[in-house]
Every structure is written in C-alpha cells, then in structure tokens.
Amino acid sequence: MKSLRFVWVLVVSLICINAFAQSDGQKAFEKLKTLAGNWEGPVTVDPPIAGMSTDKPIQVTLRVTSRGNALVHEMQESGTPLDATKYDHPLTMLYLDGDQLTLVHYCDAGNRPRMRGKLSPDGKTVEFDFADLSGSNQNGHMYHAVFTIIDANHHTEDWTYLMPGDKPMHAHMDLRLTK
C-alpha cells in the first residue's frame, strides 16, 4: 500500500511540475521581451537592391504591450519621419497563441505573413519559420526571421523576404541599444 501511495504522490508531483513549466514558446517569448527598447545599427542586404540605400542605419523599436501579452516591433530607416505614405515603416506583432510563439509581420508590401517561432537550445536565438500569408503576394512577402541576442545591449536580426518568383533577399541588422 505504501508503494502505491508513493507512486500516486510521484504522479501528482509530475503533473504539477508540468503544469507550471514554461513551454518552449513561452520561454522564447520571455527572451524576446528582454529586447524592449530602442535599437539602431547598420543593415546589409543580399543581394543588393537597386535604389535601396544601406548607407543609413536602421532603427528598431521593441515595446511590450497588452499587459505583457504582445511585443510590438517597428522598423524604419534612421532619420526618416513617421510618414507611411513616403517611407517604409513595417510593424510586427509577436504573441503567444496557446503555447506557440507567433509573429505577424504587417508588411509595406500590403500583406501579413504569419510565422511560428522556436528557441535555440542555448537560449540565445529565436527563429521564425513561415506558416501562412494573408493578403496579396504580388510583390513578395517576408518568409523567415531570426533574432539572436548577443548581450543586453546588442542583438542581430536576420529577415528573409521572398521576392516575386520566390527569389530570397536577406537583410541582416546589427543592432545596439540606444535607450
């Protein structure tokens, strides 16, 4: 009888531990929320796009919102006003959908790709893979994103955009915390 009671206590303990353990999606989301702040740094694009300047740094703002349930990511070229009629200003929302970390990119191309994220085993990288697309794909769409945390004041972002004909364009941003 004592061994049965021991097994029962063990099973209940394991259920409680699993109930309070964070999922991989939750861990990844908590990791990304540590990036809240204003960031700036150079961007490189491969292959280079005619007419697209990489001379100016990119500004990225990450802001936790909705009582900690969402992370807003805004990008724009440094020194440009917030005028969506003249300048690119994509917005990305990151949130948990159940236990799954989800990214929706509200693109200047007029579409909204959705991606699913996972945390690397070392806990420093969150990688997002394409799930589906809302809106037109006429001008291509964002397809993949990787956030790598170097330290509290430095992270990189790698974004892959599939241009028409599924030709990938890769953008790498090396970002430093400004405030």
Q: Compute mean pLDDT per 10 residues along the chain, 179 residues long, and list them.
A: 51 43 88 97 88 77 97 87 70 96 94 97 97 95 97 97 95 95
Does any domain span residue 110? Answer: yes
Q: What is the per-residue burial (b if ≥16 Cβ within 10 Å, else e) of 8-43? A: eeeeeeeeeeeeeeeeebebbbebbeebeeebbbeb
CATH number, domain containing residue 27: 2.40.128.20
Number of domains in the chain: 1
pLDDT tens digit sequence for 21-35: 578 999 999 999 999
Q: In which element (H, E) is residue 26 found? A: helix 24-33
Q: Which amino acid, residue 56? A: K
Does any domain span residue 59? Answer: yes
pLDDT tens digit sequence for 51-84: 555 678 999 999 999 999 999 999 988 777 666 6
Q: What are phi and psi of 33, to 5 degrees?
A: -65, -20
Does any domain span residue 56? Answer: yes
What is the helix, strand, coil percentage profile of the chain, to 5? 20, 50, 30
Does any domain span residue 11? Answer: no
Does any domain span residue 14? Answer: no
Instruction: At 142, list the tokens.
Output: 């964002």
Does any domain span residue 4? Answer: no
- Domain limits for position 139: 23-177
Does any domain span residue 100? Answer: yes
pLDDT at 14: 42
**Whole-number Å distance between alpha carbons of 157 and 75:** 11
| DSSP letter (8 states) at residue 21 | S
Does any domain span residue 15? Answer: no
| 3-class SS of residue 84 | coil
**Whole-number Å distance between alpha carbons of 76 and 99:** 30
pLDDT at 167: 95
